């Protein structure tokens, strides 16, 4: 092949690759489709017992998955600004950091049936961090720098164990799955695996960056990290399986798993879809026209739930 022809072939190949990369990078986000919209605003959503749950002001909002019927449940004494809400152990649990209380709500009667004192780090900009499962309710308590994972009886509220955490886990979420309790260490950029049979930390998993929040599903624990990075940890072995870049510099965001995909967000787009089969970013989505989408995500009832200027029930993209 002559030098001129070789240069022509290389040039054409580079142009093709550049064009392909540019097209992939510039693929416009698709727009989300709203199934239903609910006016109340709030944060920290969850789904269980045939319903969507979220705190709004001093009330726990319940939306039936079957017909979108709304029920408001007062939580007297809940004064915090952000309240994490989780399901497990036959109940709905709400952590209120300012009143230093974990509320247990019976999903059959919609009544508060137990209030557990918990010494959450007092900070109006941080939610109380709780999880429910493995026969217990779990909460991160203590000061901003010296924190303990406490275990409570879901029946009586009695404290059953106190597990010191090597690194604070302020407002990072707890996942109870795969026979373990998973807690993120914010300062040391670690993930701790706790055995509920012994109440001991059995593994420390090094993360790429400071963790923001956790979720589980598809056989793994998923960690949304600062900078938009998502790391996948095997729920059985605890080994790091994959790191997914989402092209964000954001320190906020949530993550959820459902419908065969992993869902997260950042400061650039309202929703990102990660394919767990390939461990890669599949699609990006803009907010519906005229809607402001915040950072909160949940999945349940065959729908995505997003917070913001309202609560949006979204038809999951394929």
Q: What's the chain's average pLDDT?
A: 87
Averaged pLDDT for residues 120-147: 86
Residue 271, in any domain of the structure:
no
Residue 138, in any domain of the structure:
yes
Range among 71-75, 124-128, 185-189 with highest mean pLDDT value: 71-75
Residue 132, in any domain of the structure:
yes
Tell me: pLDDT of 277 over 50.
yes
Tell me: pLDDT of 125 over 70.
no
Nearest to 110 by CA among 191, 53, 37, 174: 53
Domain count, the chain: 1
In the chain, what percentage of residues exceed pLDDT 90? 63
CB of 318 within 8 A of CB of 282?
Answer: no
Question: 270-294 burial by CB neighbour count: b if 16+ within 10 A, else e?
Answer: bbbbbebeeeebebbbebbeebebb
pLDDT of residue 48: 98
pLDDT of residue 127: 79
Residue 309, in any domain of the structure:
no
Residue 318, in any domain of the structure:
no
Nearest to 215 by CA among 228, 231, 192: 231
Residue 164, in any domain of the structure:
yes
- The CA distance from 60 to 45, in Å, is 10
Residue 61, in any domain of the structure:
no
Range among 28-37, 175-184, 259-268 with highest mean pLDDT value: 175-184
Structural domain boundaries enclosing 156: 75-206
Token digits of residue 171: 């407002």
Task: Give the pLDDT band (50/70/90) at residue 170.
Answer: confident
């Amino acid at each position: 092949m002559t030098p001129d022809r070789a240069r022509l072939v290389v040039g054409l190949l580079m142009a093709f690759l550049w064009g392909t990369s540019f097209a992939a990078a510039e693929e416009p986000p698709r727009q989300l489709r709203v199934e239903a919209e609910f006016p109340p605003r709030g944060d920290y959503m969850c789904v269980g017992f045939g319903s969507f749950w979220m705190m709004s002001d001093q009330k726990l909002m319940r939306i039936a998955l079957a017909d979108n019927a709304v029920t408001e449940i007062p939580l007297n004494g809940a004064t915090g600004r952000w309240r994490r809400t989780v399901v497990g152990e036959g109940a709905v649990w709400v952590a209120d950091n300012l009143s230093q209380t974990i509320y247990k709500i019976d999903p059959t009667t919609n009544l508060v049936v137990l209030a557990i004192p918990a010494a959450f780090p007092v900070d109006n900009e941080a939610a109380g961090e709780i999880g429910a499962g493995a026969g217990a309710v779990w909460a991160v308590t203590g000061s901003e720098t010296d924190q303990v994972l406490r275990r409570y009886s879901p029946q009586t509220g009695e404290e059953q164990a106190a597990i010191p955490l090597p690194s604070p886990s302020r407002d990072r979420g707890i996942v109870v799955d795969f026979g373990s309790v998973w807690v993120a260490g914010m300062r040391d950029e670690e993930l701790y695996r706790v055995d509920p049979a012994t109440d001991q930390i059995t593994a420390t998993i090094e993360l790429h960056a400071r963790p923001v929040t956790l979720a589980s599903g598809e056989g793994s624990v998923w960690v949304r990290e600062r900078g938009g990075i998502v790391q996948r940890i095997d729920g059985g072995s605890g080994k790091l399986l994959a790191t997914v870049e989402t092209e964000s510099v954001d320190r906020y965001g949530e993550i959820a798993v459902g419908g065969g995909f992993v869902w997260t967000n950042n400061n650039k787009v309202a929703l990102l879809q990660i394919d767990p089969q390939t461990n890669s970013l599949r699609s990006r989505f803009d907010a519906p026209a005229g809607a402001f989408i915040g950072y909160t995500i949940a999945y349940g009832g065959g729908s995505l739930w997003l917070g913001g200027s309202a609560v949006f029930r979204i038809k999951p993209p394929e």
